[in-house]
């Protein structure tokens, strides 16, 4: 396959040492998917490429690529950084988990489409100080479809009812209405308000979800439910998630 120079727009999110002073950095782009870049000499002091590929940097990068395997970073234009994410341990942990989660849902170079917008939206919000826990829950609910396990949130999975009181069933893959509460024993026994939040954050376009505010108790319950949904349908075991959970004990 031929190699070509290409300009891509994206967010840098994972770095690891490569050969000598070189670095491997992952970039998340919309049209070209997730790409691992070799950044030559990035670990040398004063390296401009190194500075442009710090975690949570974003902008236009010029890469030399064949569309598979490793690509090379050649230069960059107008790179900025979400410095709120870079400097704050908690925000950093949430953002790293979100990007990790998206990373695992796609193979390299697979276009991300609206999931790129979801990542971009989430990072901007967390960077600006919006409730990171809530933003993360939104991303998790919306990302289930990228993993091929999109839940039925619009209507009861059994009878199709769209309005009323609902609970969630992982086994049935979505919400069930109160008509089946007595007979359906796979349900999570969430409070109606908690299921309503899962539906809202899973269904609404992200642009309309910016200012959602929920009390701590409800947020904890939806967190637990989402963790269960992920554990029982995808089972990822991500280090970034473990770290985030540990961080909450402090």
Per rule CB under 5 A, is residue 159 in the interface with Zn ion?
yes
CB of 56 to Zn ion, least distance (A): 43
**Contact call for residues 104 and 184 (beta carbons, < 8 A):** no
**Contact call for residues 63 and 8 (beta carbons, < 8 A):** yes
The CA-CA-CA angle for residues 60, 63, 99, to 5°, reads: 60
Please, what is the angle between helix 132-143 and helix 192-203, to 10°?
Answer: 70
Q: Which stretch binds Zn ion (CB under 5 A): 12-20, 50-58, 93-101, 173-181?
A: 173-181
CB of 175 to Zn ion, least distance (A): 9
Burial class for 157, CB neighbours closer than 10 Å (0-12, 13-18, 19+): buried
Q: Which stretch binds Zn ion (CB under 5 A): 25-33, 101-109, 120-128, 169-177?
A: 169-177
**Number of Cα atoms under 13 Å in the Cβ half of residue 31:** 5
Q: How many residues at the interface with Zn ion, by CB under 5 A?
A: 6
CA 162, chain centre distance (Å): 28
Per rule CB under 5 A, is residue 156 in the interface with Zn ion?
yes
Per rule CB under 5 A, is residue 124 in the interface with Zn ion?
no
Q: Which stretch binds Zn ion (CB under 5 A): 28-36, 110-118, 161-169, 188-196?
A: 161-169
CB contact set of 181 (below 8 Å; sequence gap of 6+): 167, 187
Per rule CB under 5 A, is residue 153 in the interface with Zn ion?
no
Q: Which stretch binds Zn ion (CB under 5 A): 32-40, 117-125, 160-168, 209-217?
A: 160-168
- Burial of 9-28, coded b for 16+ CB within 10 Å and e otherwise, reads bbbbbbbeebeeebbbbbbb
C-beta closer to Zn ion: residue 170 or 177: 177
| Dihedral over alpha carbons 151, 156, 160, 162 (to 10 degrees) | -100
Give the residue closest to Zn ion by C-beta: 156
Among the listed residues 52, 93, 132, 177, the single contact to Zn ion using CB under 5 A: 177
C-beta closer to Zn ion: residue 117 or 179: 179
Among the listed residues 88, 103, 179, 184, the single contact to Zn ion using CB under 5 A: 179
Among the listed residues 14, 124, 161, 223, the single contact to Zn ion using CB under 5 A: 161
The CA-CA-CA angle for residues 72, 77, 79, to 5°, reads: 95
Q: Which stretch binds Zn ion (CB under 5 A): 8-16, 31-39, 138-146, 171-179?
A: 171-179
C-beta closer to Zn ion: residue 166 or 230: 166
CA distances from 141 to 42, 114, 185 (A): 36, 14, 23
CB of 202 to Zn ion, least distance (A): 18
Site residues for Zn ion per CB under 5 A: 156, 158-159, 161, 177, 179
């Amino acid at each position: 396959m031929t190699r070509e120079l290409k300009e891509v727009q994206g967010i840098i999110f994972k770095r690891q040492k490569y050969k000598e002073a070189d670095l491997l950095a992952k970039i998340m782009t919309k049209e070209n998917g997730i790409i691992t870049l070799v950044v030559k000499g990035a670990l040398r002091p004063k390296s401009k490429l190194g500075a442009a590929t710090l975690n949570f940097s974003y902008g236009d990068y010029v890469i030399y690529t064949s569309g598979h395997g490793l690509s090379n970073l050649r230069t960059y234009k107008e790179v900025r950084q979400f410095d709120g994410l870079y400097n704050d341990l908690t925000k950093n942990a949430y953002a790293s988990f979100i990007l990790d989660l998206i990373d695992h849902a796609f193979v390299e170079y697979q276009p991300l489409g609206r999931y790129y917008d979801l990542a971009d939206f989430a990072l901007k919000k967390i960077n600006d100080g919006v409730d990171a826990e809530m933003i993360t829950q939104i991303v998790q609910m919306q990302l289930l479809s990228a993993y091929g396990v999109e839940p039925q949130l619009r209507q009861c999975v059994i009878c199709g009812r769209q309005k009323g009181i609902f609970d969630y069933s992982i086994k049935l893959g979505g919400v069930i209405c109160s008509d089946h509460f007595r007979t359906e024993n796979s349900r999570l026994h969430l409070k109606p308000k908690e299921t309503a939040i899962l539906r809202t954050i899973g269904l609404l376009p992200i642009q309309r979800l910016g200012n959602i505010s929920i009390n701590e108790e409800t947020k904890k319950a939806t967190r637990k439910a989402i963790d269960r949904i992920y554990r029982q349908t995808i089972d990822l075991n991500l280090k970034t998630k473990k770290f985030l959970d540990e961080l909450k004990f402090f």
